[in-house]
Structures are given as C-alpha cells and as structure tokens.
Amino acid sequence: MRLTVIGCGYVGLVTGACLAAAGHEVHCTDIDEKRIDMLKAGKVPIYEEHLDEVLKHAVAEKKIFYTADTSEAIRATDVIFICVGTPPKESGEADLSAIDHVAREIATQARGPKLVVEKSTVPALTGIQLQKALSAYSRNGDIKFQVASNPEFLREGTAVGDFFHPDRIVVGVENEKSAAVMREVYAPILERKFHCPVHRGKCPTGNSAELLITTINSAELIKHASNSFLALKISYANVISDLCERIGADVEQVTHAMGLDPRIGTQFLKAGLGFGGFCFPKDIQAFIHLAGTVGVDFEMLRAAEKVNKQRIDRYFEKIHKALWVIRGKRVAVLGLAFKANTDDIRFAPALEVVRRLLDEGAEVLASDPEAISKTKAVFPAVRYHEDPYETLKGADAALVCTEWKLFRELDWERARKLMARRLVIDGRNLYSPKAMQDLGFEYYSFGRP
C-alpha cells in the first residue's frame, strides 16, 4: 500500500519507518524543512533505539520518501497519517492548532478521496472536529474524506519493538470500508511479515496482537484512559512508598506481592521520583480538562497529578536531611532523561531536581548517556561528563535520577574512592540498601528501610 505520514517527529518517524519495513511505500512530510533535509541526508533527528537502522533499510529498499512539499505528499497516497504535535496549553487543554492546519492542507490539496488517520494523541471528540474541518475546507464538494483514529501505545526507548510487537492495535472508524483499509495497513504486522531489527529473526512467538475496531470516540478515549491509568498506578505506588517509610515496611516487597495478582500486574508500580516525559503529564492534564468540559469531575486524576508533583518535595526532604546545607556542596546528578534509553528531557523529574539544586546554591555536576546536549541548553551552569565516574569525583552526594543500565551497574566500590563523602540518594531504587551500606555508603531511597 502507499501511505502518507504528516509530521516527522517521534511518532511520525517510528510509524513511517515501521510501516515501510512492513512493506508499504511511505511518503513522509514535515513543515520543518531542515528536518526533511536531515532525513534526506540519512540523519535521524531523534534518538530512538533501532530507528536509524529501520530508516536506512527502508531508504535502501525505496520504501520511504521524504518531502518538504506537503501537497506532494498528500497527493501521493490515499491514506494519510496525521502525526503532528499536540502540546499542552497553559490550561492543560491540548493545543490542536497543528491538527487543524493539517486538516486544512489536506482538504485544499487533495485531488481525490482520502482516509485521514489521527495518530497524534488527541482528546476525545477531535475526530468529529477533524471531519468537520475537512469538509469545511474542501475545495471540491465531490471529494469524500473519511476519518479514523489509530492511537499509538509506543514507549520512548522501545518504540520500534512496540510497533512491531503491539499488545493491541486500536482503530476507530466510521464505516466498514475504512476498517478494511486499516486492516490492510496492519496486516503485515499482525501476520509478522516484517524484518524485525529488535529480535533479528528470533521474535517471541505466542499470541499475535488483536486488532480492535471501535468507534472513533472510543478509540480516542482508549488512549487517554490507558495513559492516565498507568500514571494513576505509579502515583498509587508512590503513596504506598510514603506509607512504607512511615510504618517501616519495604515498598519493593509490597508492590511485588501486589503485582503477582494478575488483576493488578507488576508493571508501573515502581516507586521513586515519579513520572515525567511528554506523554503522562500532558495526557493526564488533557484528560482532566476533557472530563471537565463534559461535566465529569476526575478528582482521582487530579490527586495522581498532585502526588507526582510532590515526589520532588519528598526527594528534597531526603536531600536536606542527609546533606543539611545544600549551598556550596558539590552534587553529582546521575541521569537527566525522563527515563532510560531516551534523550528526551521534557518534564523530566531530574531537571526539576537540577533546577532546585542550582536555586539552593549547589555546585552541580551531571551525567547521562544521551541527554547531555539537550540539558546543556537549559542549564549551562552545570558541569557535564558522559563518564559517571568523572561526575562523582569530589562529590558530596550522588543523586540517582534516571534508571539507566549504566547507573544500575555502576561500580560503587570504584566510585566511593572518588567521592568526597559516601552519600547516595537514590531516586529510582536501583540498588540494594544492604549492599550500599556494606560498601560504607550512607544510602537513601524511596519506601525502603
């Protein structure tokens, strides 16, 4: 099939690359000409494991094409994936101006019928507005536009693997004709007819994903309801962690045992600095806002959001207790990205930690395998080293903020000889308290004795 992807950000590139790897011919476009030039030159503008390899392969196989000319991309195919950004406004509401702009472009540039697929994360009822905008701006009343919603459930860092091996594919449509097109789009994924760069011919067997055909409103709601539930789960674990500290229990033991009940599940119960990134914080806000507009009070989500914001306060209580005075102390921050395996620092808890340390007069050194250059632009006053051991030299405290494997496997025996004081305040519960104490560290983490 021939497909168009509008928006070459994270979602657009992963979607375009993986659909090309699944055998479709994909035409990608973006209003950012520099981004298109980069892609044409074979450079990938974001860090995402396996993405460069999938893109390179698709280019070599002549399955992916880039153009800065939106009208050319629109006319090239009959199925258009909208993958543009929907950032939050001050009110928490999603800013849908990029979607509106693209709808107008499609309506005016199309010379034949199109199936327009929302892939960007949008609040429920956006599909109806999109359909209205497509008809309103259509130059030619004879051209029929169909709309579909196809939310993505990709996690940054494992997005390529997630695309090829989804738990479920959700497609919201208006009619059977659109459903049939979307089934064809995803047939190679469901039938596992693609070259998987993650497992290299050794993909896990087991049940294939289910393709769920729903209404457009349901599909839009499924995305927000899923993300918000996961955020709720994390905040729940964090409150349990606070309780564990007060009554002397171990949050790891509690959440592990809870998770063994299949109705609960072990994932997303990790206590610590809380959730960040460009999805959970903004999606939870947009969902609260959407619920408010239709008269539903989503108090529960507001509470989850509040708990998450307080994680940084909880962390600083530990830092103050351990370090006493922060001014003038040399502090090593291990991890800047909002989670491991990404260079994304948007709404990263680590950044808030750095901001407060600087405000309180600390000398901050930081290390991260991928996120240094992005963080440098925000905090030029921090000293950065890719090598965590350089960061730890002479430090009065080490603050672990991201769960990178590199930090999980850090040689603390080596590190303790470099530090001015053997103090580790672990925001991600990466180490065994006993092992750290045996090494002579004063060690603090979340919800553990």
Active site residues: 279
CB count within 10 Å of CB 32 equals: 14
What is the C-alpha R_g of the chain? 24
CB count within 10 Å of CB 298 equals: 17
Applying the rule CB under 6 A, the residues between 83 and 142 that interact with ligand UGA are: 121
Residue among 73, 67, 178 nearest 117 (CA): 178
Angle CA(386)–CA(391)–CA(397) in degrees, nearest 5?
140
213 residue type, one letter: I
Compute the least distance from the CB of residue 156 to ligand UGA, in Å: 4
Among 24, 50, 270, 374, binds ligand UGA (CB under 6 A): 270
**Mask: binding to ligand UGA, 281-310, rule CB under 6 A, as x and -?**
--x---------------------------
Give the residue with the Cβ less far from ligand UGA, 222 or 291.
Answer: 222
Total of residues contacting ligand UGA (CB under 6 A)? 22
**Mask: binding to ligand UGA, 192-231, rule CB under 6 A, as x and -?**
-----------------------------------x--x-
Q: Give start and end residues of each alpha helix (H) in 146-298.
A: 159-164, 176-190, 216-247, 251-259, 280-293
As a whole number of Å, the end-to-end CA separation of the chain is 57
Compute the least distance from the CB of residue 425 to ligand UGA, in Å: 16
Q: Does 269 bind ligand UGA (CB under 6 A)?
A: yes
Compute the least distance from the CB of residue 232 to ligand UGA, in Å: 12
Q: Does 352 bind ligand UGA (CB under 6 A)?
A: no
Compute the least distance from the CB of residue 434 to ligand UGA, in Å: 22
Per DSSP (E only), the strands in 46-188 are 64-67, 79-82, 114-118, 145-149, 168-172
Q: Does 339 bind ligand UGA (CB under 6 A)?
A: yes
Give the residue with the Cβ less far from ligand UGA, 163 or 441.
Answer: 163
CA distances from 219 to 81, 110, 150, 267 (A): 15, 26, 7, 23
Give the residue with the Cβ less far from ligand UGA, 74 or 269.
Answer: 269
Task: Give CA–CA dist 127/145, Å, rounded.
Answer: 12
Q: Does 338 bind ligand UGA (CB under 6 A)?
A: yes
Compute the least distance from the CB of residue 210 to ligand UGA, in Å: 16
Q: Does 236 bind ligand UGA (CB under 6 A)?
A: no
Compute the least distance from the CB of residue 17 to ligand UGA, in Å: 16
Applying the rule CB under 6 A, the residues between 146 and 165 that interact with ligand UGA are: 152-156
Burial 384-395 (b: 16+ CB within 10 A, else e): bbeebbebbbeb
Q: Does 272 bind ligand UGA (CB under 6 A)?
A: yes
Residue among 164, 81, 178, 80 nearest 120 (CA): 81
Which range, of 42-50, 79-87, 122-130, 277-285, touches ligand UGA by CB under 6 A?
A: 277-285
Q: Does 275 bind ligand UGA (CB under 6 A)?
A: yes
* CA neighbours closer than 13 Å in the CB half-sphere of residue 141: 0
Q: Does 364 bind ligand UGA (CB under 6 A)?
A: no
Task: Give CA–CA dist 437/309, Å, rounded.
Answer: 29
Q: Give start and end residues of each alpha helix (H) in 24-76.
A: 33-40, 51-60, 70-76
Which residues contribute to the site for ligand UGA (CB under 6 A)? 121, 152-156, 227, 230, 234, 268-270, 272, 274-277, 279-280, 283, 338-339
